[in-house]
A = this chain, B = another copy of it.
Amino acid sequence: MIHNITGKIDFIESLRGKKATFMLAMSNTDTANIEGITQAGIPGKIYLTPTLDSEFLTTGEVRSLGNVAATPKGVPTPALITRAIHLLNPFSNIELINLGLEKLPKIDYFKIHDFSIKPSGSISDGANIDAQSLFQQGVAFGQKYKCKDDYIILGESVPSGTTTAKATALALGYDASKNFSSSFKDVPNDVRENTIQDALKNISLNDDIFKILGSISDNMIIFNAGFILGLNNSTPIILAGGTQMVCVLLVVNKILEVMQGEIETSNLALATTSWIANDTNSDIEALLNMCNFTINSYYADFNFFGSKHPALKLYDDGEAKEGVGAGGALVYGMINGLNKEQITKQVEEFLK
């Protein structure tokens, strides 16, 4: 089942049976190197997470390291969910967007869009991104992009991305301090909050928006805000993610405010997991409602209640709530006839 967060069911129903391109936007930020800030990956190798996620998603193999990226408690990456969907009811295309990776995935045949973007710095010291140029690269990409399928599902893999997303929203003046999610169950508020407070000291609310973004955001957020504006409603696109993807929308919203522009959003939607939609530590609906435009947003009624695997029970306990487009992939699977049992069984196969 698919449920609305905001809007109506019609948009997603109209995509039933249609073909999708899954795009994965990947980037590294040195913010992830701050001790204890993220659990997206292997300690000491956290920067490899998007590389490994994209290898596993496309090939089923983890090539740049021995094992699938897992958290300290053994929660595997949500890439398992996205890959499971791809095996059961394949996306028609998978394309990767390199928005500043430390290490390229070792894969052939799959399209990797490359823009010579470098990993960004830690927001505690200023991320050091040329945000205006990066944003414009995103706009140009959206304007020229020709989708081979009926719609796009856009996921992300950015270690410590919820921290940069929250910092971004606060820096842009949104009253969002209690609304952001974390991949941790027991959110390490001290480390995260200290980092965000440090980052906010580097900027002033009166700064130019691109100066703010360049100091406190990440490449994924800035580029995709441009991508969405460049697409300009011409192709249906589902932002597959949680509060990080909502932050992309908040940036779009702020840029439109500054530029006194408008955007048609009938072909723009967001899809996430039930772990995000029902998270008591964050409020994605409140964040969505901070935009001046309205979009259709959804979550997939999926959980691992039917599984006995201890690593998967941890998802239900609130670890690793979203990422690698897992929520959007689940919605895609469900509008193409997959059910919870099939998906659970496939994910369990990976853990054998």
Contacts and interface: CB of A to CB of B under 8 A. Distances in A.
Interface of A: 8-11, 13-14, 16-19, 58-61, 86-93, 107-110, 266, 335-337
Contacts of A9: 59-61
A90 B10 contact: no
Contact of A87 (B18, B91, B107, B337): B337
Given A17-B91, A92-B18, A10 B336 contact: no
B17 A92 contact: yes
Given A13-B60, A14-B109, 10 more contacts: A9-B59, A9-B61, A10-B58, A13-B109, A16-B90, A16-B91, A17-B19, A17-B93, A18-B93, A89-B337
Contacts of A335: 90
A90 B14 contact: no
A86 B8 contact: no
Nearest to A236: B109
Contacts of A60: 9, 13
Q: Is the interface of A mostly helix, strand, loop or mixed?
A: loop
A90 B336 contact: yes
Contact of A90 (B61, B91, B93, B337): B337
A155 B93 CA distance: 25
20 contacts: A9-B59, A10-B58, A10-B108, A10-B109, A11-B109, A13-B58, A13-B59, A13-B60, A13-B109, A16-B87, A16-B91, A17-B19, A17-B90, A17-B91, A17-B92, A87-B337, A89-B337, A90-B335, A90-B336, A109-B266
A65 B110 CA distance: 46
A349 to B, nearest CB: 10
A150 to B, nearest CB: 8
Given A17-B92, A17-B93, A10 B87 contact: no
